[in-house]
Structure 1
């Protein structure tokens, strides 16, 4: 993880997060200067940000929201006071409403982002200063420290060249904690094609099959928020196995960017998982990131033990050879 320290100073009324990255400081600055890059990490996993206004200049305003896996939006606003490229950004950091007006029920704070070169790359120091001890305690109780740690923990992927970082590595599975798993897979294809391949049933039937010897017998989706879906598979020929399927509900649909669904094995007596699938494109490479939230560690381990990653990689290889290569 790039984050090296998270400290709270109740006398100075500050929360300070420090993170180191193996890239030049100009690239680190660029991740904050480009709202499309900023969207890829500003917000902890499962709560990605969307910036609809971003004016990186003294007196400028940024307005954004974070969308939860359940589709709930949390709004924020930055009022830029100091910009010193590529060294320093200072903002008034506030909660906001959907129109971008400051929410005065939560105290605003001063956030300073410092960018500096190091012997191995660059360092980001983020200092959030609250107006009172009560205000500091309030934002800490709301999870600001952990949220910033998790947000900056995603920045290394944004700073990396996706071609070098992920392309050719296949499907990678990481256990984040007892109930969360992150799966990534990179493709040399534009995002809109990957989106089509995951949302158009006639394309899904051609590649979403896992290991050889299976066919997709159902691919139904009322593709709106609140709509339900059902997918099912059955063995063909001499393949050994029992038919199975998954069903669930669409929670979030952000076209060409994110799909969040519940997922339950059809007929199984287990609670549903939540699947959070995002699509990020950079330099002609699209990175799929799937964050799975499990109800408990036992269900997490049970699912991982099925060889899920192997089946996903077989499907993704078929997607590359039979869908993306022909479009």
Structure 2
């Protein structure tokens, strides 16, 4: 059952699909908001194209560094971003952007290889995806002069 392996969150943001997609497409913007509160990023490879590589180091508030390797599996401008996380924990992240009134309904769904990994990540970092979206919203507010 894929529900056991999936962590999903959704939120309506006061930005257009193009503005949100742009926050993924720009290395500078993405580095500013990617990850939970307190984390910073150093990008080593950023190839924002279908099949492109994304290699970066997340620097935690505890002073530890976490290497990450991913691939952009599918990119549909202003609509969808699919990222395959190629190092533990292995997962595929699908972000869908759907126009909703004056904003965008964003769904954020991570599918892990197995239920145990999904539950372990949820227990350890259950609010991390919400924090990530909070950080995205702040970066968009600064970059667009909006909400």
* TM-score scaled by length of structure 1: 0.42
CA separation of 1:107/1:156 partners in 2, compared to 1, >3 Å: closer, same or farther?
A: closer
Aligned twin of 1:37: 29
Select the residue among 56, 64, 67 that pairs with 2:56: 64
Post-superposition shift, 1:80? 1.6
Post-superposition shift, 1:67? 0.8
Gapped regions of structure 1 (runs ≥ 5):
1-8, 96-105, 167-327
CA separation of 1:59/1:68 partners in 2, compared to 1, >3 Å: closer, same or farther?
A: same
Select the residue among 158, 172, 176 that pairs with 2:139: 158
Moved over 6 A (4+): none
Task: State the Cα RMSD in Å.
Answer: 2.2
Post-superposition shift, 1:12? 4.9
Q: Which is richer in helix?
A: 2
Q: Secondary structure at the match of 1:149?
A: helix
Gapped regions of structure 2 (runs ≥ 5):
none
Q: Secondary structure at the match of 2:82?
A: strand
CA–CA separation in structure 1 for the residues paired with 2:16 and 2:62? 37
Q: Secondary structure at the match of 2:3?
A: coil
The 5 A counterparts of 1:8-47 are 11-47=3-39
Aligned twin of 1:217: none
CA separation of 1:163/1:138 partners in 2, compared to 1, >3 Å: closer, same or farther?
A: closer
Instruction: Name which one, 1 or 2, has greater alpha-carbon Rg.
Output: 1
CA–CA separation in structure 1 for the residues paired with 2:146 and 2:14? 13
Q: Secondary structure at the match of 2:48?
A: coil
Of structures 1 and 2, the one with the larger relative CO (CA 8 A, separation 6+) is 2
Aligned twin of 2:79: 87
